[in-house]
Amino acid sequence: MSRDNSAIDPVELAAAMIRCPSVTPADEGALGVLQAALEGLGFTCHRLPFSEAGTADVDNLYARIGEGSPNFCFAGHTDVVPVGDAEAWAVGPFDAAIKDDTLYGRGAADMKGAIACFAAAAGRLLKARGDDFSGSISLLITGDEEGPAINGTVKMLDWLVERGEILDACLVGEPTNPERLGEMVKIGRRGTITGQLTVRGTQGHIAYPQRADNPIPRLVHTLAALNDETLDEGTDHFQPSNLEVTTIDVGNPAHNVIPSSGRATFNIRFNDQHTGDSLAAWMREVCARHAGDHELDIRIGGEAFLTLPGPLSDAIAAAIEQVTGARPELSTTGGTSDARFIKDHCPVVEFGLAGQTMHQVDERVPVADLHALTDIYAALLDTYFEI
């Protein structure tokens, strides 16, 4: 890749990062590749390893150029999910091979490709503006997005607060487009809460039910009560909240034994009509009415949030339309991302590559999309830092 302080080839940089097998929580050199490219542009880089008892150590990177405001931040992650069956890939999952004008490799779409495009776009702006550039551009890159998200973005944001650094706006480079580049910008995400319910009974012989207490009917009845509740009808920006039961297990290999307990796990993806605490209280109330002797463990994975349509979403939508000719949909669909943490610090939207192959065998992205995404990010920066 270029080291002339002005030009980065996004395809070369993406390929170099893909060749680092950074499966969560390992880094394997991916952050170092990015750091070298950014330092070549003049960025000041900080490596931020974080630890916490019971979790793996994670390395992270914060890079910034400029000292003034506004500070436009690009957030993302260099960690990737496992490759699955490596023999099923058309090319080696970490070879970063280009085949039929398409870059293959784990992380190509999610989301080393977008990180490379942002670095290339930043280099383009710096070359064009030179001394006329008075704001700041930063990158907040974690190695812990695909994992438990404990030693990554949250602790990096705390580190920024301790230093007195402010983010004025942020774009997260997740693969937001369902099929083709430019379709969709995420302006919010639903929250997520998971309940793990254990209903206790008394084990016994099925021929003598009066001597036992079968927990399964109470477990099933409780799940039905939870599932039958209409949580809401959706909003102008969010689809309805939904509860899904993901597993039921009694661990009983015998056909003639009433088990002593039954367990189930369920998850709610919820919109901004709820909070994690309000749904936790509702879950406890339903279980108290129906489950009898039970234990309910609750984990709130993130709150719903919305960045109302405005200057930030207008700027990225205009940049997309400028490059692709089409106006994107502003959406809140899909799962969670680290934007759920960043929204407490500044307005945040998400836009990256198409997500059709993310987490799949043969994850890939057209080379043309990497160049087009660089053009979009460059147009966004140019608009954001208007002279």
Residue 8 has pLDDT above 60, yes or no: yes
What is the C-alpha to C-alpha distance for residues 112 and 80, in angstroms, rounded to an integer?
9
Query: What is the model's pTM?
Result: 0.89
Beta bridge partners of 366: 102
pLDDT tier, 2 (very low <50, low <70, confident <90, very high otherwise): very low
Name the average pLDDT for the chain: 95
Which entry of 27, 59, 79, 338 is annotated as an active-site residue? 79
- Quick one: pLDDT at residue 1? 35
Nearest to 283 by CA among 241, 319, 338: 241
What is the C-alpha to C-alpha distance for residues 75 and 92, in angstroms, rounded to an integer?
27
Domain with CATH 3.30.70.360 in the chain: 191-302
Mean pLDDT of 3-20: 85
CB atoms under 10 Å from CB of 205, counted, come to: 12
Query: Sign of the C-alpha dihedral, residues 209, 214, 218, 219?
Result: negative
- Quick one: pLDDT at residue 334? 86
- Quick one: pLDDT at residue 6? 54
- Quick one: pLDDT at residue 386? 84
pLDDT tier, 5 (very low <50, low <70, confident <90, very high otherwise): very low
pLDDT in tens, 350-366: 999 999 999 999 999 99
Which entry of 27, 110, 145, 272 is annotated as an active-site residue? 145
pLDDT tier, 336 (very low <50, low <70, confident <90, very high otherwise): confident
For residue 386, give both structure tokens: 């208007």
pLDDT in tens, 233-273: 999 999 999 999 999 999 999 999 999 999 999 999 999 99
What is the C-alpha to C-alpha distance for residues 51 and 38, in angstroms, rounded to an integer?
25
Percent of the chain scoring above 90 in pLDDT: 94
Annotation says 28 is catalytic: no
| CA-to-CA dists, residue 309 to 8, 29, 77, 98, 321, angstroms | 32, 38, 25, 38, 16
Domain with CATH 3.40.630.10 in the chain: 10-189+305-384
pLDDT in tens, 264-315: 999 999 999 999 999 999 999 999 999 999 999 999 988 999 999 999 999 9
pLDDT in tens, 152-181: 999 999 999 999 999 999 999 999 999 999
Neighbour-count burial of 161, counting CB atoms closer than 10 A to its CB (0-12 exposed, 13-18 middle, 19+ buried): exposed
pLDDT in tens, 338-351: 999 999 999 999 99
Tell which CATH classification among 3.40.50.620, 3.40.50.720, 3.40.630.10, 3.30.43.10 matches the domain 10-189+305-384. 3.40.630.10
Annotation says 52 is catalytic: no
pLDDT in tens, 40-52: 999 999 999 999 9
Looking at the structure, give the CATH architecture of the domain made up of residues 191-302.
2-Layer Sandwich (3.30)
